[in-house]
Structure 1
Amino acid sequence: MQSVRDRLEATLSRLAGRTAGEKVYTKLYAEAARAAAAAADARQKAGVSLGPLDGTIVSIKDLFDVVGEPTRAGSLMLASAQPAARDAAIVRRLRQAGAVILGKTNMTEFAFTAIGDNLHYGTPGNAADASLIPGGSSSGAAVAVGEGSSDISIGSDTGGSVRIPASLNGVVGFKPTARRVPLAGAFPLSATLDSIGPLARRVADCAVADAIMAGEEPMALQPIPLNGLRIGIPRGVLLGETQPEVLDAFDRSVRAVEQAGAYVADLPIDDLIAGMRSATKRASIASMEGAEVHADWLATGASAPVDPHVSGPLSRALTIPASAYIRTIRRRTELVAAMEERLQAVDVLALPTVPMVAPSIAAMAGDEELRDRTEGLLLRNTQVANQFDLCAISLPMPGTKLPAGLMLVARHGHDRRLLGIAVAVEALLGR
C-alpha cells in the first residue's frame, strides 16, 4: 500500500511541472504537508489512527484563514492584508483529524459570481476539459478533486458555490444546512446564506469531512433504502431551459431510482420561488450583505483593481435602504417556513444541479450578455437551497459527454439523512 508521503510527493511533483501556469492552487504548503504526511504514516505503522480522515490529502479554498498568512479571498486587495492570527475553525478541526492540508485553491473574487473566472490569479480550466469554465465560486476546489490532486476539497456555498463547480467537473459537492459548520475564520459574503461544504469523488468522503468540520464524531454512512422513498420533482421554472443532454441524463437517473422502489411525484414550488424572486427583486440577499462587508472600499474606492462583475452588483446593492433589506429578510423567514411545510410531503427533491454542461472560458470572456445569462442559469437551481435554508448535494450523473450533476435537496437539519440517501443513489447510478 502506497504511503501517504509517497502519494503526496507524486502530487507535488505533478504540480511542480506546471508552476508557471498554475491556476488551481494559489498557495502550496509543501513542507507542512510533508510533515503531516510523515506523521500519518508513522501513526499507521504504529497501529494508531486519528479517524477516517487521517492521512487524507485535503485542499482548502483561499477563503479560510491559515495562521501566519493573509486570506486573499481571490482578490488583489487582500494580498497584503494582515496575516491570520489563527487557523479558521474548520482548518483546525481538519488538522486535528489528521488531514494533510496540501494548499489553498483558487476562487472567484470575494466568492462572488458563478462562472469560476478570476482576473487576478487566472481561471482554473475544467477538470474534464481545460478550455471550459470550472464554475464558481469554489473553482479550484472542484478542479483539484476532479484532477485528483486532492482527495477532498473544502469550499463555501452561498448560492451554489460548492455544487455548481461539482456539477461541471463531475465530482460530489455537499452544501450543509447553514450554520451547521462554524464560519469562524472564513471570509464572509453573506451571514444569512454562507455555508461551508466539502467536494470529493464519493459521498462517503464528503460525509466524513462534513462531520469533522461540524464537530461531530464521523460515523460510517449507512445507505438509506430507496424502496419506499418519496422523491419530489419540482417541475416548472427549475427545469426550464435545461440542455437536452442534461435533461435526458436527469430523466434516466430518476427512472433508475423509481425502478429501485422510490415513489416519484411532481412537487410544485414555483409559487415559493416567485415569492423569493419578488422579495429579492431590488437586490439579492448575498449582494446586500456583501455590500455591508465591503462597504468601506465601495465608498472610498478600491486600493487595487476589482473584477467589475463583483464590484458592480455590490456597488448597486450598497444604495439599497436598510428598510428594504429588513423587509427582504422578514419575507424570507415566511417563505422558509412555507417551504419547510411544503417539503413535509417528500424525503428529497431531485432536479438537475445546473441546467447545462460547462461552456467555454473564451465564450464567457467574449460576450457579456451570454455571460450574464449563463450566470443566471448556473445559479438558478442551486440558490434555492440557500434562499430557503435547506441542505443539498450534487452527484455526477452517468451517460453525458461532459459532466452534469443530479441535485438532491432535503429539509433544514436533515443533513445526515440526505447523505444516507445520496450514498444509496450514488451506488445505484454507479452500477
Structure 2
Amino acid sequence: MTKHQSKISAPRGAHDDGKYPTVLAQSAAMEAGQASSSEQVELCIARIDDPMGEGIRTFTTVWREQARDVAAAQDTLLRSGYRASPIAGIPVSIKDLLDVKGEVTRAGALALDDMPVAACDAPVVSRLRSSGVVLIGRTNMTPFAFSVVGLNSHFGTPGNPWDRDRIPGGSSSGAAVSVADGMVAAAIGSDTVGSIRVPAALCGVVGFKPTQRTVPLSGAVPLSPTLDSIGPLARSVADCAAIHAVISGEAAVPLDMVGVRGLTFGVPREIVLDDLDIEVGRAFERACARISEAGARIEQVSFKALREVDALNGNRVIQLAEAYAWHRELLERRGADYDPHISARVRSGAQILAADYLSMLSHRRRLMREFDAATSGFDALLLPTTSMIAPTFDECMAAEDAVRTKLLRNTGPFNFLDCCSISLPVHRPGEAPVGLMVAGHRDGDWQLLKVANAIESIIAGA
C-alpha cells in the first residue's frame, strides 16, 4: 500500500456525529411526539436555501410547497394513529434520472429538456409516495450518469461536505451531498460501476448497491440496463435497509445479527489494495483490525474472476455499447447540447462490434458463476471502496481520466459480477472520508445488510 409498523429502534450510524438525525431517529422521534414531519421538512428546506450552502448545486428541482403539503398530511395521519410505513414523513431526495409524473426527466443534462413530460411516476417514485415519505426534490448528477467524478458543466457541481474544494464523486453527486449536508435524511441514487458507493465513500455516508434489478429500473434514464442498479444513500445501514425495503417492494428483514464473531471475511489480493492513498490504507487496516478483534476471521484470498474482469475491461464494453444504443438518435438531434467529454465517450460505443458485445455478455455469465462458487465460503468480502480520498477539483480537471479509473477500480467489478455491496464510512472524525466496501453474494441483499449492520457498530470511530 502506498500514499497519498412497530416502534423502531434508532441506532447511530458508522460515522454518525449526531449533527443530523438518521431516518430511524427521525421516525422514532415522530412516533414519540417529539418531532413532526413538517419540522423536519422545514429544516431541510432551510439548508437547501441557505445562500452559503450547496443547495443550489445539489438540487436541480426543489418541491417546497408539495413537500410541505405532504408533511402536513403525514403529521395529521400520525396524530390519528396511522402511518403508511416506518419511514412515513421522512424527507427524501431522488436522483434526476427518475420519472416524476408531469415533469421532464433531464438526467442532469440539457439535451433532454424538450422531451415530453412523464406520463406516470417511475415505480421507485410511486413506491416512495405510497410509503408516505416526503419527496423534497431532484438531485443533481453527472449528465446521463456518465462519470464517477460528479462534475456537471450545465448545473454546477456541489462541493464535497468535508472540503468544498474537493469533488463529491458521482454520478449520484447531489444524492450524497444532500444526505451529508442534512438537506434530506436519505436519497435515491443509481449505480452502474460505482455511482452510489463512490460518492457515498467520498462524502462520508452509507451507500447501498443492491443486486441488479432487485429494484425496478423502469422509468429511469438508463446508462447500461445490464449493469444499472437503483439504491439508497443514508446515514446508517439500518436507514438504507428501511428505504430499500420500500423501493424493492420486499418485506423488511430484521437486522438482528449480533456481532461478527464466527463470520469469515475475504480480502481480495488482486488489485483492490494496490496504490492506496495513505488515508485509505490506514482507515482500511484499522477497520479490519476492529473486525478481527470482534471475533471474525479475515483471510486474504486470490480470486481468478477478479483478475479476469480487470483484464477484460468488460464494464466498458457493455456500458458503452448499451449507452450508444440509447443515445444514438438523441446525439444526432441534440449533440451540441452534450458535455463534449460525455458525447465523445458515448460515441465511442459505435465502434463496439455486436459480436464483441455478445461475447462479453457470455464472459460475464461465466464469471458470475465462477465468482459465486469462489466466494461461497465467505460471509462477505472487505475492501476499500475507493483507492483514493476525494481529489480537489483542480486535481480532477488536470487528470480526469486517471482519477475516474482510480475511483472505479474497486467498485466496478461488483457490478460486472452482479454482487450486492455497500460502502460504510470508516474514517475518524475530522479525517478525510474513506469508505469500507462490504460485498455480498448475488441475491443475498438482506444477508449483506445484516452483516454490514453488525460491522457498522464495530467500526464506529475506528
- What TM-score results when the alignment is normalised by the length of structure 1? 0.96
In structure 2, the residue corresponding to 1:240 is in which secondary structure? coil
Q: How does 1:150-189 map to 2 (within 5 A)?
A: 150-189=184-223
Most deviating of 338-347 and 171-180: 338-347
Task: Output the CA distance in 2 between the equivalents of 1:231 and 1:29.
Answer: 43
Cα drift, residue 282 of structure 1: 10
Q: State the partner residue of 1:392.
A: 421
Q: How does 1:220-235 map to 2 (within 5 A)?
A: 220-235=254-269
For 2:408, give the aligned amino acid: L
Find 2:171's aligned residue among 132, 137, 150. 137
Q: State the partner residue of 2:7.
A: none
Q: In 2 relative to 1, CA 313–258 (structure 1 residues): closer, same or farther, beyond 3 Å?
A: same
Q: How does 1:313-324 map to 2 (within 5 A)?
A: 313-324=345-356
Q: In 2 relative to 1, CA 350–283 (structure 1 residues): closer, same or farther, beyond 3 Å?
A: closer
Cα drift, residue 278 of structure 1: 3.8
Task: Output the CA distance in 1 between the equivalents of 2:258 and 2:315.
Answer: 42
Q: State the partner residue of 2:404.
A: 375
Find 1:128's aligned residue among 162, 182, 197. 162
Q: State the partner residue of 1:427.
A: 457
Unaligned runs of 5+ in 2: 1-33
Find 2:334's aligned residue among 293, 299, 302. 302
Tell me the C-alpha RMSD between the 2 structures. 1.6
Q: State the partner residue of 1:146.
A: 180
Figure out how many residues of one structure are paired with residues of the other and give that number.
426
Provide, for residues 349-375 of structure 1, a one-character-per-residue CA deviation record: whole Å limited to 9, x for no partner.
Answer: 00000011111112222x1xx211110
Checking the alignment, whether the CA contact within 8 Å between 2:440 and 2:448 is kept in structure 1 is yes
For 1:4, give the aligned amino acid: S
Cα drift, residue 414 of structure 1: 0.6
Checking the alignment, whether the CA contact within 8 Å between 1:25 and 1:105 is kept in structure 2 is yes
Find 2:58's aligned residue among 10, 24, 43. 24
Find 1:288's aligned residue among 315, 321, 328. 321
Task: Output the CA distance in 1 between the equivalents of 2:273 and 2:213.
Answer: 29
For 1:91, give the aligned amino acid: V
Find 1:413's aligned residue among 406, 424, 443. 443
Task: Output the CA distance in 2 between the equivalents of 1:201 and 1:20.
Answer: 18
In structure 2, the residue corresponding to 1:311 is in which secondary structure? helix
Most deviating of 38-47 and 377-386: 38-47
Checking the alignment, whether the CA contact within 8 Å between 1:108 and 1:118 is kept in structure 2 is yes
In structure 2, the residue corresponding to 1:174 is in which secondary structure? strand
Q: State the partner residue of 1:8.
A: 41
Task: Output the CA distance in 2 between the equivalents of 1:386 and 1:282.
Answer: 8
Checking the alignment, whether the CA contact within 8 Å between 2:320 and 2:346 is kept in structure 1 is yes
Cα drift, residue 425 of structure 1: 0.7
Cα drift, residue 267 of structure 1: 1.6
Task: Output the CA distance in 2 between the equivalents of 1:90 and 1:281.
Answer: 28
Checking the alignment, whether the CA contact within 8 Å between 1:113 and 1:309 is kept in structure 2 is no
Q: How does 1:329-340 map to 2 (within 5 A)?
A: 329-340=361-372
Task: Output the CA distance in 2 between the equivalents of 1:40 and 1:430.
Answer: 33
- What TM-score results when the alignment is normalised by the length of structure 2? 0.89
Checking the alignment, whether the CA contact within 8 Å between 2:109 and 2:338 is kept in structure 1 is yes
Provide, for residues 160-187 of structure 1, a one-character-per-residue CA deviation record: whole Å limited to 9, x for no partner.
Answer: 0000000000000000000101111111
Task: Output the CA distance in 2 between the equivalents of 1:278 and 1:352.
Answer: 20
Q: In 2 relative to 1, CA 304–312 (structure 1 residues): closer, same or farther, beyond 3 Å?
A: closer
Provide, for residues 68-113 of structure 1, a one-character-per-residue CA deviation record: whole Å limited to 9, x for no partner.
Answer: 0100001100122110000000000011001000000000010011
Cα drift, residue 14 of structure 1: 2.9
Checking the alignment, whether the CA contact within 8 Å between 1:167 and 1:394 is kept in structure 2 is yes
Task: Output the CA distance in 1 between the equivalents of 2:313 and 2:386.
Answer: 21
Checking the alignment, whether the CA contact within 8 Å between 1:224 and 1:421 is kept in structure 2 is no
Q: State the partner residue of 1:69.
A: 103
Q: State the partner residue of 2:305.
A: 272
Checking the alignment, whether the CA contact within 8 Å between 2:99 and 2:122 is kept in structure 1 is yes
In structure 1, the residue corresponding to 2:431 is in which secondary structure? coil
Checking the alignment, whether the CA contact within 8 Å between 1:250 and 1:406 is kept in structure 2 is yes
Task: Output the CA distance in 2 between the equivalents of 1:304 and 1:81.
Answer: 16
Task: Output the CA distance in 2 between the equivalents of 1:149 and 1:172.
Answer: 15
Q: How does 1:175-254 map to 2 (within 5 A)?
A: 175-254=209-288
For 1:205, give the aligned amino acid: D
Checking the alignment, whether the CA contact within 8 Å between 2:266 and 2:298 is kept in structure 1 is yes
In structure 1, the residue corresponding to 2:180 is in which secondary structure? helix
Cα drift, residue 342 of structure 1: 0.7
For 2:383, give the aligned amino acid: L
Unaligned runs of 5+ in 1: none
Find 2:143's aligned residue among 102, 105, 109. 109
In structure 1, the residue corresponding to 2:136 is in which secondary structure? strand
Checking the alignment, whether the CA contact within 8 Å between 1:59 and 1:102 is kept in structure 2 is yes
Checking the alignment, whether the CA contact within 8 Å between 2:177 and 2:203 is kept in structure 1 is yes
For 2:355, give the aligned amino acid: S
Checking the alignment, whether the CA contact within 8 Å between 1:280 and 1:328 is kept in structure 2 is no
Task: Output the CA distance in 1 between the equivalents of 2:137 and 2:182.
Answer: 14
Q: In 2 relative to 1, CA 134–20 (structure 1 residues): closer, same or farther, beyond 3 Å?
A: closer
Most deviating of 18-27 and 352-361: 18-27
Checking the alignment, whether the CA contact within 8 Å between 1:224 and 1:420 is kept in structure 2 is no
Task: Output the CA distance in 1 between the equivalents of 2:74 and 2:313.
Answer: 48
Q: State the partner residue of 1:402.
A: 432
In structure 1, the residue corresponding to 2:78 is in which secondary structure? helix
